[in-house]
Structure 1
């Protein structure tokens, strides 16, 4: 009893526990390096990883040239000027979509902001075959301007690299881990990270043989061409769906004729929901069109449409290094072909949860259900056995005959409205798997058209898989035959 008395234990000295500090990264830097880097004294400029990357390239098999300059691959590097962004409605005359440096990573960006296309915004346009690099905030995310991206205005937070030749080769080099380390070594800014064209000008890029350069360049160009083709197929599928169901333009259904939207709701249709957003008239209008022109209107929970709707539970994540776990992505990344900033989830700690809830399989439809509601994506073959977080609902299609059609409908403007009206939450918007099961979906009178829509979507998904494979081939050749070649 005496030994357990806390008052008598205050004088007892406890053994000290020595905490091992993390090893400090350090390296020696020559005065010549400091001068060549613009006399910059931030440690990040001489990071050991970036220093190894520079040494690897300079001591490599091929001679190097500066990325930007008279002899470099890049003729001009610039970004759009800052200006006041006067956004307009997408129904306005002569409008063009405006996207940021994160949306430019999407396979088929869907702008939510629009500006009038005029002389004032000409610097925000981008040319085809231009290499794009995010230069503010998150540094180094890469994209390549194909026909899809060339239609949009892109913010000044994306740097444009206009190449003399082989833009695909430049893109592939800068997207490798070696290229990314070099880009990050040039970051500046105490609050918001930035990088300027002059900082990237002296990045050395190997001048490989013409055969290798052309091979890598062609693979990247073909990859982005396939993305364009997949977008065209999905656009065709969506148009077929709208025509068959006689749906009016979504902008007509959403038109606001008064400053405050008011509407009546019958007591029998409240469904226990008193939030106005649940009862917006556009949902009833869409459903009326579906009921009139479809053979049948059912729900996602119908076993003819889906096998299962999965909403994973919340859990504490254990991340591991690449190669030791499953690829793990979030809702922000599901519109990307090869998501950047991937994480890796421990198989040891999450084996059962991965198998039952988190695992992704080809032709699943994904729906974001927390924060940003209603982003829809179709899982490609290259995402097989990847995992995604609990903010994404998985809809497992009943079979391949409806997998593509299901995705096309939910990804349309009309499907988005039917998803969004279930939203609840005063701080963070949410929907759950029960809501998704209740979403209306039409089964068409013309079965041939529904089958055609389904096949178009699945063909688009296959093209995206092939586009992914081509880009990976290009990156592998860049690593094996250029950067690490002996």
Structure 2
């Protein structure tokens, strides 16, 4: 109600108000219809698929490969560059993302609204406005649903956007354009760096059908009776990397996971931000929590710049073990006891460490090491035995630069959103 009142007062003061969509609106809101998803079999022609919350990651990874022949209309779900993707259902309704050249490579879930605005300045200004506290409140004021919140195409189209002075609009749009470009270049370069890094590694052995199984000597079982850890392909990857000059994790880094803690969450400004495994991967953590100093020792849970992190509890076949790098912007942030910390030793490149954990060679080893009867867990003891590829300082340096650019883009974006919100409030003070 307060956000709607603000917009009405801005309109009454002479500020031009334009709806996001509809007649005379800034663009068109496309509500995609439900599409049957058929996951591709090995070797089948397919397209990579992103779920709604995947698009908020620094470097979104496909949740699976969808069959082209079994899933109709997949190409229509691949967003054009410049499309604003809006969440339209879920507990955390409101966050939105911008489809850049990297995102446009994927099929994005039909559970996201597509906003198309032809004029680039208008589009980038709307992107900033919808990200402000006022814009977020307007987005969610008409939500429906008795169990899960929903947002319709008409709800998004009806949001009125206040266009302040031309200088403000152009400045906001130009700055947001820089943020979008910085992220796009960093994503594409990081993707290319991983590919270049993998090119110098031994190929992963082809697997036989799982139904044929494999044989393991009883003397090799030791303390592990679960299957994945004895996968011969994982063993071959480890042997190939050692022969190439690779090192075990314990030789190049310190690994740790802190103890559980009592949860005393507080408002922002009264505690430190604390991230879950999913937050680690997100450019703007959705529903980030803040925790009181009486709950835990901040120093023990603080991440520190240059630390590689990943969620270490969950499902091994999903997002568990997907890596992120901590740079200066989040160095003082905390992370939960479910997050693995891998801190490189002296003269070890954090960027190279990220490239290692981004390869299928290392991911297979980490996932195979997970254990647990209900929830899969990767612990420091087993992680220390994972074998990493030989160091490449040049590629590692470039990878770390990409992560630093991510941090700078996030800082600039937060600043421009604050400036737009403050500009609207300052205008109201003169009314």
What's the CA shift for 1:150? 0.8
**Equivalence map 1:130-169=2 (5 Å):** 130-138=83-91, 139-165=93-119, 166-169=122-125
Rounded Cα–Cα distance in structure 2 between residues aligned with 1:318 and 1:111: 35
Corresponding position: 1:452 with 2:394? yes
Rounded Cα–Cα distance in structure 2 between residues aligned with 1:218 and 1:261: 58
Output one character per residue of 1:49-98: Cα deviation in whole Å (capped at 9) or x when no partner: xx01111122136332222234332x1001221122121146422x2111
Q: 1:48: which partner in 2?
A: none
Q: Secondary structure at the match of 1:367?
A: strand
Rounded Cα–Cα distance in structure 1 between residues aligned with 2:347 and 2:164: 44
What's the CA shift for 1:244? 2.6
**CA separation of 1:201 and 1:240: change in aligned 2, threshold 3 A:** closer
Q: Secondary structure at the match of 2:102?
A: helix
**CA separation of 1:320 and 1:400: change in aligned 2, threshold 3 A:** farther
**CA separation of 1:81 and 1:451: change in aligned 2, threshold 3 A:** same
**CA separation of 1:56 and 1:107: change in aligned 2, threshold 3 A:** same
Query: Given the alignment, which residue of 278, 291, 298 partners 1:354?
Result: 298
Rounded Cα–Cα distance in structure 2 between residues aligned with 1:371 and 1:254: 27
What's the CA shift for 1:282? 1.6
Q: Secondary structure at the match of 1:375?
A: coil
CA contact (8 A) 1:363 1:397 kept: yes
Output one character per residue of 1:114-158: Cα deviation in whole Å (capped at 9) or x when no partner: 224576223312111111111012321211110111111111111
Q: 1:478: which partner in 2?
A: 420
Q: 2:196: which partner in 1?
A: 240
Q: Secondary structure at the match of 1:360?
A: coil
Rounded Cα–Cα distance in structure 1 between residues aligned with 2:104 and 2:220: 46
What's the CA shift for 1:234? 2.1
What's the CA shift for 1:222? 1.8
**Equivalence map 1:73-472=2 (5 Å):** 73=26, 75-89=27-41, 91-93=43-45, 95-117=46-68, 120-138=73-91, 139-165=93-119, 166-245=122-201, 247-248=202-203, 250=204, 253=205, 255=207, 257-294=208-245, 297-302=246-251, 305-306=252-253, 308-347=254-293, 349-350=294-295, 353-356=297-300, 358-372=301-315, 373-399=320-346, 401-444=348-391, 450-472=392-414
Rounded Cα–Cα distance in structure 2 between residues aligned with 1:361 and 1:76: 43
What's the CA shift for 1:232? 2.7
Gaps of 5+ in 2: none
Q: 2:8: which partner in 1?
A: 58
What's the CA shift for 1:161? 0.8
CA contact (8 A) 1:219 1:473 kept: no
What's the CA shift for 1:104? 1.3
Rounded Cα–Cα distance in structure 2 between residues aligned with 1:287 and 1:322: 45
Aligned length: 416
Rounded Cα–Cα distance in structure 2 between residues aligned with 1:400 and 1:126: 42
Cα-Cα RMSD: 1.9
CA contact (8 A) 2:102 2:188 kept: no
What's the CA shift for 1:207? 1.1
CA contact (8 A) 2:48 2:107 kept: yes
| TM-score computed with the length of structure 1 as normaliser | 0.81
Instruction: Point out the structure with max Rg over C-alpha.
Output: 1
What's the CA shift for 1:398? 0.9
Q: Secondary structure at the match of 1:193?
A: coil
CA contact (8 A) 2:349 2:397 kept: no
Q: Secondary structure at the match of 1:65?
A: strand
CA contact (8 A) 2:133 2:421 kept: no
Rounded Cα–Cα distance in structure 2 between residues aligned with 1:400 and 1:460: 19
| TM-score computed with the length of structure 2 as normaliser | 0.91
Q: Secondary structure at the match of 1:126?
A: coil
CA contact (8 A) 1:230 1:463 kept: yes
Rounded Cα–Cα distance in structure 2 between residues aligned with 1:115 and 1:430: 28
Rounded Cα–Cα distance in structure 2 between residues aligned with 1:475 and 1:261: 56
